[in-house]
Structure 1
Amino acid sequence: MIDLILNYFTNSSAITLVVLALLSVYFVLIFWLFIYKNSQLSGLITNEKKSLETLTSRDSMLSPLSGLSRCAKTSKSKPLLHACEISIIKDASEGLSWLSIVSSTSPFIGLFGTVVGILESFAKFSTQSKVGFSIIAPAISEALVATAGGIFVAIFAYTFHQILTRKVYELNTYLKAQSEILIAKA
């Protein structure tokens, strides 16, 4: 297996190697971003959920762990709490657009690598008088690895984007519920 991979890299063009390197960077980037944002959002959601439970219990106090606590100390006006919600959601959703960008661009980057690989293969075959399917098929299949890599990265980026977007929505729901309760109690 390792020999096959090494053989692929030694026979690949510079463009194909650059494309695969870029897709590898994308892959590492999206996993790092997902792990970081997922843990951050999970913590925020836990704090806001506990704060909402505290606010709806007999204590009826906003938890100091809530992101809204800094805004609610000064005033419990609807515009101020709404502005605070927007600020928290903006900070929480920071970086999610990169997942969207990667999920939409990585298949095209892979496709670019495939097209270049196929063009190079046809250029090599142009000097030969007879070329059979047994010669063309391996060259084309090697070129398609770049497209497969691009699609592979896009699948993870899109999935991570959807998961994190859902968590931001959940966070927003907890924040809005707390704001409405605070406004009603004021």
Structure 2
Amino acid sequence: MITTILNYLANSGAITYIVLALLSIYLIVTIWIFLYRYFAVTALIRNEVSSLEGLTSREARFSSLSALNKCTNNLASKELLYACEINIIKDASSGISWLAIISSTSPFIGLFGTVIGILESFAKFANQSKVAFSIIAPAISEALVATAAGIFVAIFAYTFHQILSRKIYELNIYLKAQSQILIAKG
């Protein structure tokens, strides 16, 4: 396995190195954004669930850990609550658009690397009058590694984007529920 990878890298051109390096950076950024945002949004949701439970209990108290409470400073006007909801969701969703960008561009970056790899392969065989398929096939299969890498990164970026979008939607529901309760209580 390792010798196959080393042989692939030894026979690759500069464009392939650039494409694989860019896709590696994309993968690292994808994982970092996901982990950072996932844990931050999960903590926000945990605080808002606790606050919502406090508002719906007999005590009817607004949790001091709630982001909505921190934003409104115990002033519960409809407009202020709405503005705070928007601000909290905006902060919670920062970075999420990068996952969408990475998931949509990484297959094209991989495809670019594949096209360049195939062009380089054909350029090697241009001086030969007859080339067997058994000689062309390995060169093309090596070029397809870039497309596979692009798709690999895109799968993770898209999946992480969907997971975080769902978490942010869940946070929004808890914030709206608290706002409705506070508005109803006047």
TM-score of the aligned structures, taking structure 2 as reference length: 0.98
Amino acid at match of 2:177: A
**Is 2:20 the counterpart of 1:29?**
no
**The 10-residue stretch of structure 1 (121-130 or 101-110) with the greater mean CA deviation from structure 2:** 121-130
Unaligned runs of 5+ residues in structure 1 are: none
> CA contact under 8 A between 2:110 and 2:147: conserved in structure 1?
yes
Amino acid at match of 1:67: A
**Is 2:146 the counterpart of 1:146?**
yes
* Aligned twin of 1:161: 161
**Is 2:104 the counterpart of 1:121?**
no
Written as runs of structure 1 = structure 2, the 5 A alignment for 1:18-97 is 18-97=18-97
**SS in structure 1 at match of 2:63:** coil
Provide the C-alpha distance between the structure 1 equivalents of 2:116 and 2:133, rounded to a whole number of angstroms.
19
> CA contact under 8 A between 2:117 and 2:143: conserved in structure 1?
yes
**SS in structure 2 at match of 1:68:** helix
User: How far apart are 1:71 and its partner, in Å?
Assistant: 3.7
Residues 124-180 of structure 1 show CA distances to partners (whole Å, capped at 9, x for unaligned) of 111111100000000000000000000000000000000000000000000000000
Unaligned runs of 5+ residues in structure 2 are: none
Provide the C-alpha distance between the structure 2 equivalents of 1:162 and 1:70, rounded to a whole number of angstroms.
28
Provide the C-alpha distance between the structure 1 equivalents of 2:135 and 2:176, rounded to a whole number of angstroms.
63
Provide the C-alpha distance between the structure 2 equivalents of 1:111 and 1:61, rounded to a whole number of angstroms.
56
**SS in structure 2 at match of 1:62:** coil
User: How far apart are 1:13 and its partner, in Å?
Assistant: 0.5
User: How far apart are 1:73 and its partner, in Å?
Assistant: 2.9
Provide the C-alpha distance between the structure 2 equivalents of 1:48 and 1:14, rounded to a whole number of angstroms.
50
Aligned-pair identity (%): 70
User: How far apart are 1:61 and its partner, in Å?
Assistant: 1.1
Residues 82-111 of structure 1 show CA distances to partners (whole Å, capped at 9, x for unaligned) of 000000000000000000000000000000
Provide the C-alpha distance between the structure 2 equivalents of 1:146 and 1:180, rounded to a whole number of angstroms.
51
* Aligned twin of 2:102: 102
* Number of equivalenced pairs: 186
Provide the C-alpha distance between the structure 1 equivalents of 2:58 and 2:72, rounded to a whole number of angstroms.
19
User: How far apart are 1:74 and its partner, in Å?
Assistant: 4.7
> CA contact under 8 A between 2:72 and 2:84: conserved in structure 1?
no
Provide the C-alpha distance between the structure 2 equivalents of 1:116 and 1:92, rounded to a whole number of angstroms.
39
* Aligned twin of 1:175: 175
Amino acid at match of 2:152: F
**The 10-residue stretch of structure 1 (160-169 or 71-80) with the greater mean CA deviation from structure 2:** 71-80
**The 10-residue stretch of structure 1 (96-105 or 71-80) with the greater mean CA deviation from structure 2:** 71-80
* Aligned twin of 1:16: 16
* Aligned twin of 1:137: 137
- Root-mean-square deviation (CA, aligned residues, Å) is 0.8
